[in-house]
Amino acid sequence: MGREVTSRTFSRADRRLFRQKVLMCADALERMLKEGAFRDDIDPPRPMLGMEIEFNLVHADMTPAMSNNAVLESIGDDAVFQTELGQFNVEMNVKPGPLVGDGTFELERTLRASLSVVDARIHRHDAQLVMIGMLPTLELEHLDREWISANPRYELLNEQIFAARGEDIELDLEGVALEGRPQEQLRADSNSVVPEAACTSLQLHLRVAPEEFAAHWNAAQCLAGAQVALAANSPFLAGKALWHESRIPIFEQATDTRPLELKNQGVRPRVWFGERWISSVFDLFEENSRYFPALLPEVTDVDPAAELDAGRIPDLSELQMHNGTIYRWNRPVYDCADGKPHLRIENRVLPAGPTVLDIMANAAFYYGALRGLVEADQPVWTRMSFNAAEENLRAGAQHGMDAQMYWPGVGTLGADELVLRRLLPIADQGLAAFGLSQKARDRYLSVIEGRCLTRQTGAAWQRAQVVRHEDAGMNRRDALAAMMRQYVENMRDGSPVHTWRV
């Protein structure tokens, strides 16, 4: 959502000055890259497994609990748990753990324990945390402007998006039919960006040396389709059966600043896969400054060039603010820690949940496959069109494990077969290169293998369970609530989703 903002109104002069400052920041970043300002950064990348997890809040009857402020007061840990856009959301910043040896086991144990403590603390608010990509019991009335979190930056972002768009947001998505059912469709207008809050994700961060950034970003783009197909967990919204990972198209529509006419002109969307392979991280920040107008044009009085001349590392505040309002599925991040600059890739394609073990497996697969692809003798992105990678993401989001995907050397094949035949061995090699133990690799990658063999993701389980309840005579609303009660019970039990019974 970008960083905290202090201004509540922006003038035309603010926008012009902000544009100039973004360009100044981009020039400073280019200079830093050329002058080796990142020379103290890690090479090769040795990631700490860092995650951000977005949660939904639900009452005992599985309806959304609009109580994130009260919940956060009860949790009492601002460094770990924070607000998100909707009053039914909170976000957890997981303390990074090492991706070597058996270090991931301790991270997994700590995460389980933390969530157990939190659920006990918030129980008095009739609220509980749910890790899911899209809460099935959300109705259209839960997506109105009144349910934006009580934080000035969210309301301001909402105002700026609608000022740029000039009309209500249109949600329009044709679903994938449930077994034995006709195809369903969601069509609705929204007077706020709260539909974005319906899209709760798992975000993974990887710190990368500048000279290795392009290879890692290109490889992450190649992986996106398989990641989503494997982890799909967002099949329902507003009572409709939509895509297996509906979070992808709903997020795109909920933050779209373009009216129809600008779409027809080919203006780029703010939620963006991209349009080409890159040769430098600078390519992405240059695209940001060239293509996207400011949403939150808050300006500092810091001159980044003067900071560099004085031997200091600039925060590049305007570049960071601008980048935070452009929602690439693999987003570049510039940041400073302890006075040293670094670059990260923020992987944003994954939904939250279903269980702690599932999200650990999703993270391990991503980090391992990414490193394996980067270190391959022949880069996969040199044998694959950018459009094919984007089509894979769309197919994975729409059909989950039933998706057909293109991969160099094998052509078109099912998502499960692609992962089993090609990507799992690559992920194992990559994790071994990082130094993860055989025991840890087996634990997490066996979960991925299990999903492929059973073809059961969180989305597939949800869809099958709703069909079962409806066949037993329930209406859609009751079926969704009954499914969610079982989902929450399974989530707490912790067994991976491919073992869940329908």
Helix (H, G, I), strand (E, B) or coil at 13: helix
Radius of gyration of the chain (CA): 22
What average pLDDT does this structure show over 305-316?
A: 95
Half-sphere exposure at residue 131, Cβ-oriented, CA atoms within 13 angstroms? 32
pLDDT band at 172 (very low <50, low <70, confident <90, very high): very high
| pTM of the complete model | 0.95
- 220-274 pLDDT per residue, tens: 999 999 999 999 999 999 999 999 999 999 999 999 999 999 999 999 999 999 9
Provide CB contacts within 8 A for 280, sequence distance 6+.
Answer: 33, 210, 213, 214
Amino acid residing at 123:
H
Distance CA 357, CA 346 (A): 21
Q: How far from chain centre, in Å, is Cα 66?
A: 22
Q: How many CB atoms lie under 10 A from the CB of residue 366?
A: 26
- 407-419 pLDDT per residue, tens: 999 999 999 999 9
Dig out the tokens for 460 from the structure. 């597939």
Q: How far from chain centre, in Å, is Cα 386?
A: 20
pLDDT greater than 50 at residue 2: no
pLDDT band at 168 (very low <50, low <70, confident <90, very high): very high
Question: Is residue 23 exposed (0-12), middle (13-18) or buried (19+ Cβ within 10 Å)?
Answer: middle
Give the phi and the psi of residue 27 in degrees, each rounded to 5: -60, -40
Distance CA 208, CA 280 (A): 12
In this structure, the dihedral spanned by the alpha carbons of residues 467, 468, 469 and 473, taken in order and rounded to 10 degrees, is: 90
- 59-111 pLDDT per residue, tens: 999 999 999 999 999 999 888 999 999 999 999 998 887 889 998 999 999 99
Long-range contacts of 262-271 (CB under 8 A, 24+ apart): 268/292, 270/295, 270/325, 270/326, 270/327, 271/327, 271/328, 271/329
pLDDT greater than 90 at residue 133: yes
Provide CB contacts within 8 A for 64, sequence distance 6+.
Answer: 56, 57, 58, 88, 135, 137, 138, 142
Helix (H, G, I), strand (E, B) or coil at 260: helix
Distance CA 289, CA 283 (A): 10
Token pair 């389709």: residue: 225
Dig out the tokens for 443 from the structure. 């634990």
**Could you give the C-alpha distances from 80 to 40, 111, 334, 491, in angstroms and in order?**
28, 11, 21, 21
Higher pLDDT residue, 49 or 409? 409
pLDDT band at 7 (very low <50, low <70, confident <90, very high): low
pLDDT band at 1 (very low <50, low <70, confident <90, very high): very low
DSSP single-letter state for residue 90:
E
pLDDT at 339: 83
Structural contact between residues 91 and 83, judged by C-beta atoms closer than 8 angstroms:
yes
